[in-house]
Amino acid sequence: MEKKLEIFSHFEECPVRKVLNRCGDKWSVLILLVLGEVDNMRFNKLHKTIGDISQKMLTVTLRTLEADGLIKRTVFPEIPPRVEYEITERGKSLLVHINKLVDWAEENMEDIMESRAKFES
Amino acid sequence: MEKKLEIFSHFEECPVRKVLNRCGDKWSVLILLVLGEVDNMRFNKLHKTIGDISQKMLTVTLRTLEADGLIKRTVFPEIPPRVEYEITERGKSLLVHINKLVDWAEENMEDIMESRAKFES
DNA sequence: CGGCATCCCTGCCGATACTG
DNA sequence: CAGTATCGGCAGGGATGCCG
């Protein structure tokens, strides 16, 4: 067990942290969830679907997800341009676990909200 | 499927987001992982075990985890004071899914690092 | 020992304007 | 349509000092 603790602590450059930190940002998980529900989706459709994300953060987050090989970006050389995003196999394998987390959150959010309310008082 | 998308998008007050956002901060997951490996742990031991967390953020994060009912805080009225933290059943049920994510990260981090390196060029 | 209060700064993120 | 570029706010988080 001491061994296992060492994995996560004292190593600021811990690779597990490097990977998981990307899931901790504001939009990555949400985008993966959306792209997990469809075959592919264009930039503007993503923008409208998520609703409250800025164009800039949509672009930035899509780029980092692409860099990690979690989504694939396809540019069609047309005018006007068309860009489609789709989740990769690697992304799907991650999404499985993310969906478990979402399910857990749905199951427990009432209790959690109640705990938070009590904790205030 | 459209229904499911609605759950996550366009609702800034989405309760699922409210819950999962707490996992997205810098230290919550790490603390849960540590407390999941032991019966209980005192404040200073936690501080030393994690190593690169500030005292302030350790306190703050422990409080939010406690507020969500994921950990339990026990104060022993001694001098010098002793405070022990332990994971709750709710916390354990979350930890199951978090550990899956960690396993996934360990399995995929090499490929991901390679993808990131290629993406730079 | 286990905090809390304060100051301060980085960097995430949003808003806006411009482009091929 | 799908971006890029720039500016700026502000919240997360670190460093330090004080306290019961």
Residue A96, CA distances (Å) to A92, B2, B39, B98, B117 in order: 6, 19, 29, 12, 25
Give pTM, 2 decimals. Answer: 0.91
User: Which residues lie closer than 8 Å to B21 by C-beta, 6 or more apart?
Assistant: none
Q: Is the peptide bond before B80 cis (omega within 30 degrees of 0)?
A: yes
pLDDT > 90: what percent of chain B? 71
pLDDT digits (tens, 9 = 90+) for A23-69: 888 999 999 999 999 999 999 999 999 988 999 999 999 999 999 99
A10 part of a folded domain: no
What range does the domain containing A86 cover?
25-120
Domain count, chain B: 1
Question: Peptide bond preceding A80: is omega within 30 degrees of 0, i.e. cis?
Answer: yes
Q: Is residue A14 part of a domain?
A: no
In a domain, A50, yes or no: yes
Residue B87 within any structural domain of the chain: yes
pLDDT-derived band of residue A14, with 50, 70 and 90 as boundaries?
A: confident
Q: Got the DSSP string for A20-50? A: HHHHTSSSHHHHHHHHTTSS-EEHHHHHHHH
Reference B19, options B83, B104, B90, B109; nearest CA is: B90
Strand D contacted by B85 CB (< 7 A): no
Within a domain: B6: no
Question: Which residues in A lie closer than 8 A to residue B30 (C-beta atoms)?
Answer: 8-9, 17
pLDDT at A8: 56
Identify the band that residue B92 occupies on the pLDDT scale cut at 50, 70 and 90: very high
**CATH code: domain of residue A54:** 1.10.10.10
Name the B residues in 51-70 with CB < 8 Å from any A CB: 51-52, 66-69
Span B15-68, pLDDT tens digits: 778 788 888 899 999 999 999 999 999 999 999 999 889 999 999 999 999 999
- Nearest CB to B109 within list A19, A51, A102: A19
Q: Report residue A30 as tokens.
A: 């949400």
